[in-house]
Amino acid sequence: MSGSSPNSIRPLPPGLQKVAIEELNEVPSRVESDIAALKEWLQKQPHLCACLEDQFLLSFLRGSKFSLEKAKQKIDRFYSLQAVIPEVFNDQRLVDNAQVLEIIRLGVILRIPLDEEDTGPAVTIIRAGSYDINKFKFQDIIRVGSMFGEIMMLEDDNASVSGYLEIMDMSGVTGANLFALQPQLLSKFSAYADEAMPTRQKGIHFINVPKAFETGFKSLLGWFPGKIKERVSVSSDPEAIFERVPKHYLPEEYGGSKGTMKDITDQMEAKLCSYRSYFEDCQHFGAHDKLREEASVLNPDESHFGVDGSFRQLVID
């Protein structure tokens, strides 16, 4: 993994530390013992082969507001539910995969750097109309997004403490693009992100939605699980992005002053390459339900996935 040693804990900036204490129940003097308790539990689970790096485990504790039992459940779901989405979580999730690199270079996904003192959520822009749907499937885009989602939870303190926003830029989107969105996969992955990822999703905001599609596009939101649907907004207004992200954070192509999209994609490619060993290790991590000693953590009342891990068909309004 990039950065500091696997078992060192990165200190938070003062502003984010204050948020972590007040909103996530973090007690700085107890963090190391909390991590140790979660690690000890994981090492005793015969069905789980998991990353045991301290910063990785800390992200799950923060994502569970330092409830050890909830952190156990979330990290179990993190690995168990990946097996239900094989079109995303497969052997193509490697840093030198040609398709992964091409998607990064196209600027389909842009991670927006924030100022160090900013305590707000992390921001990612997804440019839904910027790739050739005859060459890439939506699952290929989601796969790359999942990789950066894990990098984000490992090293983006804003994401770990304050959550993240996704800006879905629909510029240039056609009816064919919408048809290629694979709404069932979108729904399934959104549920996985909500139930299993330790970073908290604070909103999904669709901008530059073509007016001709605006009404029909809103019906697509029926595929999102209810709790997630409440965090979604849809707008055809090109200025809508400035309601969510300060203008000065954005690249020049979006009216900002933080370099160009090419600058961002170059940084993202270099960042991904620094995680070579992590994603190679991920090929061996996972859950093996046949070895599970306790009942599944997939409580039917709390999960969009069945007890066997199968995804439940949502009722569309």
pLDDT digits (tens, 9 = 90+) for 33-73: 999 999 999 999 999 999 999 999 999 999 999 999 999 99
Average confidence (pLDDT) over 111-130? 94
Count: domains in the chain: 2
**According to DSSP H, which parts of the chain are helical?**
14-24, 31-43, 54-63, 68-82, 98-105, 138-155, 157-162, 175-179, 183-196, 211-220, 226-229, 261-273, 276-282
- Backbone phi, then psi, for 174, in 5-degree steps? -115, 175
- Position 317 in a domain: no
- The answer to whether residues 54 and 157 belong to one domain is no
pLDDT tens track for 69-109: 999 999 999 999 999 999 999 999 999 999 999 999 999 99
- The answer to whether residues 172 and 253 belong to one domain is yes
- The answer to whether residues 71 and 21 belong to one domain is yes
Does the pLDDT of residue 32 top 70, yes or no? yes
Burial 259-270 (b: 16+ CB within 10 A, else e): eebeebbeebee
CA 68 to chain centre: 21
Confidence of residue 179 (pLDDT cuts 50, 70, 90): confident
Does the pLDDT of residue 315 top 50, yes or no? no
- The answer to whether residues 64 and 105 belong to one domain is no
pLDDT of residue 256: 93
Does the pLDDT of residue 141 top 50, yes or no? yes
Does the pLDDT of residue 132 top 80, yes or no? yes
Could you count the other beta carbons within 10 Å of the beta carbon of residue 23?
12
pLDDT of residue 184: 82
Confidence of residue 124 (pLDDT cuts 50, 70, 90): very high
User: Strands across the sheet with 109-112, in order?
Assistant: 109-112, 122-127, 164-169, 201-207, 232-234
Give the domain extent around 78: 14-87+284-291
Average confidence (pLDDT) over 8-33? 96
- The answer to whether residues 163 and 223 belong to one domain is yes
- The answer to whether residues 63 and 139 belong to one domain is no
- Position 300 in a domain: no
Average confidence (pLDDT) over 264-286? 97
pLDDT of residue 222: 67
CATH of the domain at 73: 1.10.8
- The answer to whether residues 113 and 208 belong to one domain is yes
- The answer to whether residues 264 and 180 belong to one domain is yes
* CA–CA separation, 93 and 313 (whole Å): 27
Number of residues assigned to the chain: 317
Q: Which amino acid is at 160?
A: S
Confidence of residue 3 (pLDDT cuts 50, 70, 90): very low
pLDDT tens track for 298-308: 554 455 554 44
- The answer to whether residues 233 and 256 belong to one domain is yes
Q: Using alpha carbons only, what angle is made at residue 164 by residues 70 and 153, rounded to the nearest 5 degrees?
A: 60
- The answer to whether residues 56 and 108 belong to one domain is no
- Position 131 in a domain: yes
The fraction of the chain above a pLDDT of 70, given in percent, is 86
What is the rounded average pLDDT for all residues in the chain?
A: 88
pLDDT tens track for 224-271: 666 667 788 888 888 889 988 999 999 999 999 989 999 999 999 999
pTM: 0.88
pLDDT tens track for 206-229: 888 887 776 666 666 666 666 667
Q: Which of 155, 233, 216, 166 is nearest to 194 (CA)?
A: 166
- The answer to whether residues 103 and 71 belong to one domain is no
